[in-house]
Amino acid sequence: MGSLTEIAARNLKAPERGQVTLTDDSLPGFGLRVSQGGTKSFVLVHGKTRERVTIGRYPVISLADARSEAKRILAERTLGKARPKSIAWDEAKALFLAACAQKNKSRTVDDYTRLLKRHFAFGKTQLADITTQQITHRLDRLVDTPSEQNHALVAVKVFLRWAVRRHYIGNSPCEGLFPSKRPPRERTLTDKELANVFKTALKDADAFSNIVALLVLTGQRRGEIAALQWSWIDTRENTITLPSSVTKNKRAHTFPYGKRAAAVLKRIPRASETYVFPASRDKVKGKPATIFNGWGKPKEAFDRASGVADWQLHDIRRTFASNLAALGVALPTIEKLLNHVSGSFGGIVSVYQRHDWLPEMRDAMQRWEARLGRIAVK
């Protein structure tokens, strides 16, 4: 019907039903499609399979720009450099999270789900249309919470690198974006703070308080204690064995626990045959219970009850290690209790050192529980 012009594009009327395409004879496959509702979009139909590409809406994109983009797409097709076929952001995100669930810890999947949903709600926008500016705009909103900002950036970078590997996009819009560097946290609890935290944890028997009590008594990471399973606890030997699937360094870790920890474990109800701290069924909408993951509100309530402010659960682990050193426990024993593979057990030592250190760790735990007993009654 001839060359598509601005006048023709502007005057193109919406059909009563369906869609109508005004084609451009000067560029085969290129045209302007108008829907029943009046929305006009530039399209390009090309290739043996007659694939249709939507270039953009008119008049947001001018006819000249749309025609140039159509020519570029056809040129890349001819040269064998076609852009990756993209999908919507939400569709790609669902596929990504499903893939993560197959190989990552549940806590990691939960974190990715929360961060991507809360900070990067791009919905049906095509993945290939997301720009660096759109990513940075959302990150800029988190400038007052640098930790959350860094976690959000890490999550979206992992997601978009996955999308590149799946050929949904050619390059990640997060290239060149890096988390801000923060000084290492050095917070340890004073004896008074530790006593208040420990007594508050022992006073209440809810899941969060029991987790805090075990963190104080064992010095392990919060994710490892939250993931605890009944089968990992040997009540005859008073040991807990964390499998490699839940430890940070991917190495199984067996450590002893003392009488106070045994008393905490004994008071925990068996709400699940598998998990010591199962998630609430209400929170997972009737699905089989997974591990405890509701940290925010219980931590706020715990802080009010204990009177201790400006601290994190990981500070307990640092406090545990510092106190053991003050008690004269040897550094290799402390590192063994913490399941560290650097330091005393780094390099070639990790290959040939096969002593389990259980006697030394038991002695350290006895000293630690005795110290907790002393400061908790002050």
If DSSP codes are grouped into helix, strand and coil, which group holds residue 292?
Answer: coil
Asked if residue 31 lies in contact with residue 24, where contact means CB atoms within 8 angstroms, the answer is yes
| The CATH number fitting domain 6-79, selected from 3.40.50.11810, 3.40.630.40, 3.40.50.1820, 3.30.160.390 | 3.30.160.390
In this model, does residue 84 exceed pLDDT 80? no
Average pLDDT of the chain is 86
Provide the token pair at 241.
């064995």
Whether the pTM exceeds 0.85: the reply is no
The alpha carbon of residue 348 and the mean position of all alpha carbons in its chain are separated, in whole angstroms, by 33
pLDDT of amino acid 347: 44
- Superfamily holding 191-376: Intergrase catalytic core (1.10.443.10)
Q: Where are the domains of the chain?
A: 6-79, 89-165, 191-376
pLDDT grade, residue 74 (50/70/90)? confident
pLDDT grade, residue 184 (50/70/90)? low
Quick count: other Cβ atoms within 10 Å of Cβ 187?
12
In this model, does residue 209 exceed pLDDT 80? yes
Q: Which residues pair with 275 in a beta bridge?
A: 229
pLDDT of amino acid 352: 42
Spatial CA neighbour of 334 closest among 264, 342, 240: 342
Rounded CA-CA distance 257/233 in Å is 10
Q: What is the pLDDT of residues 285-343, one digit of tens each?
A: 444 458 888 888 899 999 999 999 989 999 999 999 999 999 999 999 999 999 987 55
The alpha carbon of residue 305 and the mean position of all alpha carbons in its chain are separated, in whole angstroms, by 29
- Fold: same for 6-79 and 191-376: no
Long-range Cβ contact pairs of 44-47 (< 8 A, separation 24 or more): 44/70, 44/73, 44/74, 46/73, 46/74, 46/77, 47/77
